[in-house]
Each structure stands twice: as C-alpha cells, then as structure tokens.
C-alpha cells in the first residue's frame, strides 16, 4: 500500500471538485478589532479588516474578559490539570456553569471543550439514557449535531428545513410510545434564518417529545440578557436542552448545554465526550463567565442594539446597490454570488486589493448555485470600515459583471 499516493489522491479529489480549503493566516489586533494583520504564504504582511468573524460583539477584546482571564492565570496557572472527574473541576468551572444555568433559566449547565463537542457528546449519549429514542433532525442542522445523531446508533428522521408539516408527518408515523427528541437551531448560520421555536415546541408537546435547541449563533446576541432567541421569545422554559458556544458572541472558547439538574447529571455521568477529556483552562472559564455576566447587563443591551443596527445598515446599503443579499432578519448577511469561481475570485480580490477579509462559502457548505460571501457586521465595524466595504463590493461586482437586482425608484 502506497499511503502517500492515497493522501495525494484524497487531496486531489478536493482540488478537482473545487472544494480544497485554503486558510487565511491572520492575527487580530486587540483594541483595534476588526483590524488584523494577514500573513501571506510568502511571509509578507498586509493590514486587513475582518468581515467574516464570529466574535460578533467584539467581546474577545473586552477589558472585563481580559482582566478575568489574566487574574485567573495569575491565581491558578495555565491548564486545569485534569478531567472533570479527576482533579479538573475548579471553582471557575462551577462558577461558569452557574452563570450559564442562570442565563437560560435552567437548573443546571455542563461545559464542554466546544459547542461541537457539546452537540456531539450529548446527542450521541441520549439513546443510552432513553432506550429506543428516535431523533427528528432539521436537514440544515450543524455538522456537530449530525455527527452526534449519526454516531449514536439510534433511529433518526430528517425533516425538511423548518417544515412543520413534514415533521408532524414523520412523528405521526412512529410508535406513540417511543421516546422522541426534536433537534433544531434558532439561527441557521448560512442563510441567517430563524427556526420556528414556538411551533416546534408545540409539536413536541403534542407528541410528548423532548426538544434540543442549538443557540450557538444567538447566545449573547438575542434576548434581554443575551440568552438567545428562546429568551427573546419567552420560550426557554419549553426547551429541554439548550446548546450554546462560548467561542462566538462570548468571544472566548468552549461550549455547553443547559438543562434540568437531572438531565445534566445523566449526561455528565454517561457522555464519554464530557468525562474522558481535560476540562477547559480555568482562565478560559473565567473569561467566558465574565463575558456572559457583562452581556446580561446594560452593557450587553447596548452592544446587542448596536449589533442589530450595524446589520441593518449593511443590508440596506447592499440592497441600495442592487446586490442580491438574503435578508432573514438576523445579524448574518449572506451575499449570493451564485458560482464557486466568482465567489473565490471576489474573496481573493477583496483581500488583495482592498484589505477586506471575507471567506468564500462554497458547496457542500451551501447548495450549488448559492455560493456566497457571508458578512458578519458587528459593533466594532465603524462607518469608515463600512464605507470601504461598500465601495469595494460595488467596484468588484461591476468588475466581475455580476447581475444586480432592479433598483427601486
Ligand atoms: C460554530 C457552530 C457550532 C460549534 O461551536 P464551537 O464552539 O465553535 O465548536 C455548533 N453549532 C453551530 C450551529 C455552529 O455554527
């Protein structure tokens, strides 16, 4: 067996399908977000503005977060020194979980290495807790949920995206006595559209199913205290398990679930992805807790308002140029270019000529023909950055001779 040749083949396949991913090396400048330095493959550097980050509110440079992290490092050192089970549960982890339980109005919370791991570990463990469990999963659910559901060996049904009738049909076809769980998201990150949380909870109630909600693209950003869309809509109490990240709007790192004390106890006890891994560094836990606490308060309300305003301004200005954005009312602004070649070309030219970093999103992350640039405006993007972006897009759209919508008036 020629192992090297096999690796070449695997990589070549991606090149042939136009799916080979190139990572852009950047270093963000604390205190100057969204500005960063890009290091080209040849080692030369260029200043860039990041327009595709998930640090949605700029909390990654917030003094409250940085101070908490520095204090924890000074007090307790670098790593946790163990798994949660063996010497790795610290006062920082307990404090963070209490902060999260409070955020979501739940009895408990469990912190994992990431929201990916939280989804994967929880969903793959649930059939052990509920033998015969059937999971109903929205077709556009994140890879981490798909992976957890796939690995658990239990029964699964995929319902068409946000299609309540289809879900109902699938539920009605199964044994009424079987344990069931409906898994979905609040904000879907590629189109920026919302899941119908209330209606899904109604259906879950009707069929006596549990609900599992990924709020990764909403925690910190929606709701009076940043508890997510379920908080905004007064629905947190109806969702059995809420999943979130500490790495996006909270600006740090890690993931979690929030649920009843019993659910947390059972998942904690059975999920290998929770038990057999080193717990997150205390400084990371401290930073995340400080971020959550800050965003619960008045400062968070202001940031959330500024965030939504920025998204509205960007969408309005892009629409004004006749550029085909998808506006589903969230903070995510997808600009549909429509083919992989132009999407990549636009992204490359934005970076090289304008110092604007926006990653191209191609198949299979999105359907063919909907290849896009996905912008994530935030309160740290000022009017100058916005003007520069608009000018660049206007010029490049013409340069690539891409279609514009009819302009109003
Ligand atoms: C990013 C993402 C995750 C994973 O979160 P991490 O903390 O980065 O692992 C889970 N679900 C969705 C919908 C995401 O977009």
The 10s digit of each residue's pLDDT in 18-71 is: 788 889 999 999 999 999 999 999 999 999 999 999 999 999 999 999 999 999
Ligand 1, residues 56, 142, 288: which to mutate, most atoms within 8 A of Cβ?
Answer: 142
In this model, does residue 72 exceed pLDDT 80?
Answer: yes
Mean pLDDT of 351-360: 97
Q: Which residue among the candidates 106, 156, 248, 315 is catalytic per the annotation?
A: 248
Amino acid 131: pLDDT: 97
Distance between Cα 148 and ligand 1 center (Å) = 13
DSSP H or E run through 39: strand 35-39
Burial 50-75 (b: 16+ CB within 10 A, else e): bbbbbbbbbbbbbeebbebbeebbee
In this model, does residue 102 exceed pLDDT 70?
Answer: yes
Taking the CA atoms of residue 306, residue 311, residue 314 and residue 318 in that order, the dihedral angle to the nearest 10 degrees is -160
Q: How confident is the model at residue 408 (pLDDT cuts 50, 70, 90)?
A: very low
Closest to 80 measured CA to CA, from 67, 70, 68, 93: 93
Q: How confident is the model at residue 407 (pLDDT cuts 50, 70, 90)?
A: low
Amino acid 409: pLDDT: 36
Distance between Cα 236 and ligand 1 center (Å) = 19
Q: How confident is the model at residue 406 (pLDDT cuts 50, 70, 90)?
A: low
In this model, does residue 186 exceed pLDDT 50?
Answer: yes
Compute the distance between CA of residue 260 and CA of residue 282 in angstroms, rounded to an integer: 24
Distance between Cα 244 and ligand 1 center (Å) = 8
Amino acid 404: pLDDT: 86
Ligand 1, residues 115, 140, 146: which to mutate, most atoms within 8 A of Cβ?
Answer: 115
What does the radius of gyration of the chain's CA atoms come to, in whole angstroms? 22
The binding-site residues of ligand 1, defined as CB within 6 angstroms of any ligand atom, are 114-116, 119, 142, 144, 185, 189, 214, 216-217, 245, 247, 255
The 10s digit of each residue's pLDDT in 130-185 is: 999 999 999 999 999 999 999 988 999 999 999 999 999 999 999 999 999 999 99
Q: Which residue has the higher pLDDT, 17 or 31?
A: 31
CA angle (54, 60, 64) in 5-degree steps: 145
Task: Please give the distance of CA 236 from its chain centroid, rounded to a whole number.
Answer: 19
Distance between Cα 103 and ligand 1 center (Å) = 18
Atom from ligand 1 closest to the CA of residue 119:
10
Q: Percent of the chain scored above 90 by pLDDT?
A: 93
Q: What pTM was computed for the model? A: 0.96
Closest to 288 measured CA to CA, from 82, 100, 104: 100
DSSP H or E run through 38: strand 35-39
Burial class of residue 205 in the structure, from the number of CB atoms within 10 Å of its CB (0-12 exposed, 13-18 middle, 19+ buried): exposed
Amino acid 176: pLDDT: 98
Taking the CA atoms of residue 226, residue 229, residue 231 and residue 236 in that order, the dihedral angle to the nearest 10 degrees is -130
Compute the distance between CA of residue 330 and CA of residue 194 in angstroms, rounded to an integer: 8
Q: What is the DSSP string of 261-329?
A: HHHHHHHHHH-HHHHSSBPPPHHHHHHHHHHHHHHHSHHHHHHHHHHHHHHHHHHHHHHHTT--B---S
Ligand 1, residues 139, 149, 246, 248: which to mutate, most atoms within 8 A of Cβ?
Answer: 248
Structural contact between residues 280 and 254, judged by C-beta atoms closer than 8 angstroms: yes
Residue 277, CB-side half-sphere exposure with 13 Å CA sphere: 16
Task: Please give the distance of CA 32 from its chain centroid, rounded to a whole number.
Answer: 23
What is the rounded end-to-end Cα distance, in angstroms, of the chain?
Answer: 66
Closest to 57 measured CA to CA, from 262, 329, 311, 243: 311
Mean pLDDT of 368-386: 96
Atom from ligand 1 closest to the CA of residue 118:
9
Mean pLDDT of 111-118: 98
Compute the distance between CA of residue 26 and CA of residue 37 in angstroms, rounded to an integer: 5
The 10s digit of each residue's pLDDT in 298-328 is: 999 999 999 999 999 999 999 999 999 999 9
Structural contact between residues 115 and 144, judged by C-beta atoms closer than 8 angstroms: yes
Amino acid 86: pLDDT: 96
Closest residue (by CA) to atom 6 of ligand 1? Answer: 115
**Active site annotation includes 156:** no
In this model, does residue 345 exceed pLDDT 90?
Answer: yes
The 10s digit of each residue's pLDDT in 213-254 is: 999 999 999 999 999 999 999 999 999 999 999 999 999 999
Closest residue (by CA) to atom 13 of ligand 1? Answer: 142
Structural contact between residues 287 and 252, judged by C-beta atoms closer than 8 angstroms: yes
Task: Please give the distance of CA 262 from its chain centroid, rounded to a whole number.
Answer: 26
Distance between Cα 400 and ligand 1 center (Å) = 33
Amino acid 403: pLDDT: 85
Structural contact between residues 189 and 217, judged by C-beta atoms closer than 8 angstroms: yes
């Amino acid at each position: 067996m020629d192992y090297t040749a096999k690796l070449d083949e695997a990589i070549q396949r991606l090149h042939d399908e136009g799916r080979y991913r190139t990572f852009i090396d950047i270093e963000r400048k604390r205190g100057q977000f969204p500005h960063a330095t890009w290091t080209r493959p040849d080692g030369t550097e260029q200043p860039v503005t990041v327009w595709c980050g998930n640090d949605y509110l700029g909390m990654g440079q917030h003094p409250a977060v940085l101070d908490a992290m520095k204090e924890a490092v000074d007090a307790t050192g670098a790593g946790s020194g163990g798994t949660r089970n063996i010497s790795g549960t610290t006062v920082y982890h307990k404090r963070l979980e209490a902060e999260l339980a409070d955020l979501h109005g739940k009895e408990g919370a469990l912190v994992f290495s990431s929201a990916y791991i939280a989804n994967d570990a929880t969903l793959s463990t649930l059939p052990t807790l509920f033998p015969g469990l059937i999971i109903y999963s929205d077709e556009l659910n994140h890879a981490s949920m798909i992976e957890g559901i796939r690995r658990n060996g239990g029964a699964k049904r995929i319902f068409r995206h946000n299609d309540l009738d289809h879900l109902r049909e699938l539920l009605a076809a199964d044994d009424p006595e079987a344990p069931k769980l409906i898994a979905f998201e609040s904000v879907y990150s590629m189109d920026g559209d919302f899941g119908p949380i209330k209606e899904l909870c109604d259906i879950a109630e009707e069929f006596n199913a549990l609900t599992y909600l990924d709020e990764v693209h909403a925690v910190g950003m929606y709701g009076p205290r940043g508890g997510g869309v379920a908080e905004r809509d007064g629905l947190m109490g109806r969702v059995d398990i809420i999943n979130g990240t500490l790495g996006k709007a909270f600006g740090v790192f890690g993931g979690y679930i929030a649920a009843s004390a019993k659910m947390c106890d059972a998942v904690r006890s059975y999920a290998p992805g929770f038990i057999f891994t080193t717990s997150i560094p205390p400084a990371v836990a401290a930073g995340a807790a400080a971020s959550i606490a800050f965003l619960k308060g008045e400062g968070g309300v202001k940031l959330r308002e500024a965030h939504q305003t920025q998204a509205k301004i960007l969408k309005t200005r892009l629409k004004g140029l006749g550029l085909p954005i998808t506006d589903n009312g969230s903070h995510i602004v997808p600009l549909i270019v429509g083919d992989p070649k132009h999407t990549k070309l636009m992204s490359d030219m934005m970076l090289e000529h304008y110092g604007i970093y926006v990653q191209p999103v191609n198949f299979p992350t999105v359907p063919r023909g909907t290849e896009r640039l996905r912008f994530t405006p935030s309160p740290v993007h000022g009017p100058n950055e916005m003007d520069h972006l608009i000018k660049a897009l206007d010029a490049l759209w013409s340069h690539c001779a891409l279609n514009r919508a009819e302009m109003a008036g």
